[in-house]
Amino acid sequence: MVLGLLIAVGEMLSPGTYVNSQFTWLHLAGSPGTFPNGVSLVVGTLVDPLSALLLLVVTVVGFLVMLYSIGYMHQDRGLPRYYAELSLFLAAMTGLVLSNNLLEFFLFWELVGVCSYFLIGFYYEKPSAASAAKEAFLVTRIGDVLFLLGIFIYFYHFSTVGPSGGWAANGFVFANGTAPYLPVVSGSGSTLLTVAGLMILGGAAGKSAQFPLHVWLPDAMEGPTTVSALIHAATMVAAGVYLLAITSVFIGFTSTDQLAIVAIGGFTAFFAATMAVVHPDIKRVIAYSTISQLGYMVLAVGAGFAMVGLYHLFTHAFFKALLFLAAGSVIHAIGTQDLFKMGGLRKSMRVTSAAFLIGGLALAGIPPFAGFWSKDDILGAVYSQLGSHPLYWPFFLLAFAAVFLTAYYIFRAWFLAFSGDHTRDPTLPHAHEGPWVMQVPLVILSAFAVVAGLFIFLPNFQALLLNGAGATGIPPVYGPTDLALSGISVGLGVAGIGLAYWLWGNGRVYALPEDSPLQSVRKVLLHRYYFKVAYDWVGLRLVYGISRGADFVDRYVIDGTVRGLERVFGSVSNGLRRAQTGAVSDYAGYVIAGLLGVFVLLLIVAPYLLSKMGGG
């Protein structure tokens, strides 16, 4: 981990360098016709601006979460398991970030997935945790299959028609020191590449919980809060965005792909934010917020600004981990996640309260906190691309509207938990701050949440982003270039906070009138648009129907065939076995028979077949 940090810092100091070292794991020589350049499966590491940025996040947040865990998890059983799985996760995540080709990337991708599965199900004795782990695993698996198909298509495409120079046929391997960017291949094969890009998008959507594969992330909150902070906010879920970013930088998307990515990202940003508005569970509110923020990142990458997306990923990792750890601190203190039972915690938990407030401000995009800079960059970047396709407009507007919702829901959570005089549920234990190992990470992350956005004004950091993005050929937009845009977004953020204060501030609890037409909306939102129900229904009906049919086929068709085959095989191999008489004269007979067989093949069968095949 320290090593990873050093690499990241080293990359900071000399931005734009590419270190690519690899060894060939297995090389198949090419032959004319197929794979003219041969096929290499390589294992290697690649340090470039993109991976350095993510490496910094993984190591810093990973370290702080480990520290925090000492305090947060101290009462839990199974600590060795916890730390082992967390360490394995960090190792896999570092490997993922440093991979230099898609196949290797995919291996680590699966590894972080399985760690996530373990850690969500850490409290495996709880049925809800166990089923959440399974759900996360299965839903992301859909994305993984798509991703793998995408890799196959790229592999096929680039090993047959791709440029022979830098490509080793199977991923974003490129010659040392040369510009990595490969332009989108237009004309022949571009349909294929579009499909591949959509497959990659599917994989990213699974990992980064984008619509419609978002259902697993809120349920993943069954795991320990530390895990939520590290894996389900800062690092693993960001891997999907990272995948999109590296694909756009090293391979390139077609314009159809870009539209699809923009649509998914923009819609998810808004869609997830609406669900966060009504949810009573503090962790799930933050989880929906994560989905929504990941949507912003996807949006940015789709619009062609990979580095802007990663910049938001970078700032988001800090303030979202901060929010989760602060929420964890609350849960640690009073043992509930229900916002409506909390209240007045500001007095007893000053550090946590301040940390959550800073995280909230950063999330809401209030300057000068971190979220403002990166989120504003995204909006500005997408705005600059609005001309490229008319369909960008609705998703841009959705993302803009989500700014208001974001500010509202996160401050609703803050007011509910921390403002007021006392807890609403008197049975809760008296709140107190956690030990220093829990407070220190909060303070450090708060500092990051304040200043991470300002990093952009460090020349080295800026150069890092510029170099990474320069590769895409589109200069990114930095800072409030479009002051009006920033003004509107900040205004929306402030309005959201204001609304939250008006409804929930000072211990108020706003109850929607029973006869309000909004009740039905609220109900839909609380049920998460009935997505899970629908999935369950479809899953149940479909799977049940299929299994019915399969059962029938199994019973009558397959079993019958198997029994038949068994009989055939049995008699065949019995015959064969009986041939193994042990009598040497029989064996000699086989040899002679074999000889005659060879002659028949050579002299009669083969010439006949050849004449049929049209050669000879």
Asked whether 382 and 396 are in contact (CB, 8 A), the reply is yes
Residues binding other proteins: number (CB under 8 A) = 44
> Which span (255-263, 315-323, 465-473, 569-577) binds other proteins, by CB under 8 A?
569-577
- CA–CA distances in Å: residue 554 to residues 262, 549, 558: 44, 8, 5
CB of 571 to other proteins, least distance (A): 12
Name the residue nearer to other proteins (CB basis): 512 or 576: 576
Q: Choose between 549 and 597: whose C-beta lies nearer to other proteins.
A: 597
Tokens linked to 10:
């080293």
Do residues 268 and 210 lie in contact, with contact meaning Cβ atoms separated by under 8 Å?
yes
Instruction: Give the x/- contact pattern for other proteins in 15-54, rule: CB under 8 A.
Output: --------xxxxxxx-x-xxx---x---------------
Nearer to other proteins, 79 or 606 (CB): 606
CB of 69 to other proteins, least distance (A): 32
556 in contact with other proteins (CB under 8 A): no
Cβ(59)–Cβ(44) below 8 Å: no
Of the two residues 2 and 29, which places its CB atom closer to other proteins in the complex?
29
Residue 377 C-beta: closest distance to other proteins, Å: 43
| In contact, 321 and 232? CB cutoff 8 Å | no
Kindly report the three-state secondary structure assignment for every residue of 296-357. Answer: HHHHHHHCCCHHHHHHHHHHHHHHHHHHHHHHHHHHHHHCCCEHHHCCCHHHHCHHHHHHHH
Binding to other proteins, residues 573-612 (CB under 8 A): 573, 576-577, 579-580, 582, 584, 586-588, 590-591, 593-595, 597-599, 601-603, 605-607, 609-610
CB of 159 to other proteins, least distance (A): 11
Whole-angstrom distance, CA of residue 143 vs CA of residue 150: 10
Q: Using the rule CB under 8 A, is 435 a contact of other proteins? A: no
Residue 574 CB, nearest approach to other proteins (Å): 8
- For the bound state, the minimum distance from the C-beta of residue 586 to other proteins, rounded and expressed in Å, comes to 7
For 236-269, the DSSP string reads HHHHHHHHHHHIIIII---HHHHHHHHHHHHHHH
Q: Rounded distance, CA 332 to CA 480, Å?
A: 39
Residue 393 or 569: the one with the smaller Cβ distance to other proteins is: 569
Residue number, 179 or 610, with CB nearest to other proteins: 610
616 scored as a contact of other proteins (CB under 8 A): yes
Q: Are 435 and 333 in contact (CB under 8 A)?
A: no
The nearer residue to other proteins, 533 or 565, going by C-beta atoms, is 565
Report in angstroms how near the CB of residue 168 gets to other proteins at its nearest: 13
Q: Specify which residues 44 forms β-bridges with.
A: 22
Q: Among residues 152 and 340, whose Cβ is nearest to other proteins?
A: 152
Query: Residue 510 or 599: which CB sits closer to other proteins?
Result: 599
Closest approach of Cβ 96 to other proteins, in Å? 19
Residue 254: left (phi > 0), alpha (psi -120 to 50), or beta? beta
Q: Rounded to 5, what percent of the chain is helix, strand, coil? A: 75, 5, 25
Residue closer to other proteins (CB basis): 39 or 331: 39
Q: Which of 80, 187, 517, 614 binds other proteins (CB under 8 A)?
A: 614
The answer to whether the beta carbons of residues 270 and 398 sit under 8 Å apart is yes
- Residue 605 CB, nearest distance to other proteins (Å)? 7
Binding mask 108-137 for other proteins (x = CB under 8 A): ------------------------------
Nearer to other proteins, 27 or 527 (CB): 27
Closest distance of CB 71 from other proteins, Å? 40
Is 197 in contact with 231 (CB distance < 8 Å)? Answer: no
CA neighbours closer than 13 Å in the CB half-sphere of residue 456:
26
Under 8 Å between Cβ of 291 and 266: no
Torsion of CA 273, 275, 281, 286, to 10 degrees: -20
Nearest residue (CB) to other proteins, 179 versus 603: 603
Closest CA to 396 of 377, 379, 415, 373: 379
- Give the whole-angstrom CA distance, residue 282 versus residue 339: 6
Least Å distance between CB 576 and other proteins? 6
- Structure token digits, residue 299: 């949006």
Task: Using the structure block, give the residue that is written with the tokens 């550090």.
Answer: 351
CB of 218 to other proteins, least distance (A): 36
> Using CB under 8 A as the criterion, which residues of the chain lie in contact with other proteins when the complex forms?
23-29, 31, 33-35, 39, 569, 572-573, 576-577, 579-580, 582, 584, 586-588, 590-591, 593-595, 597-599, 601-603, 605-607, 609-610, 613-616
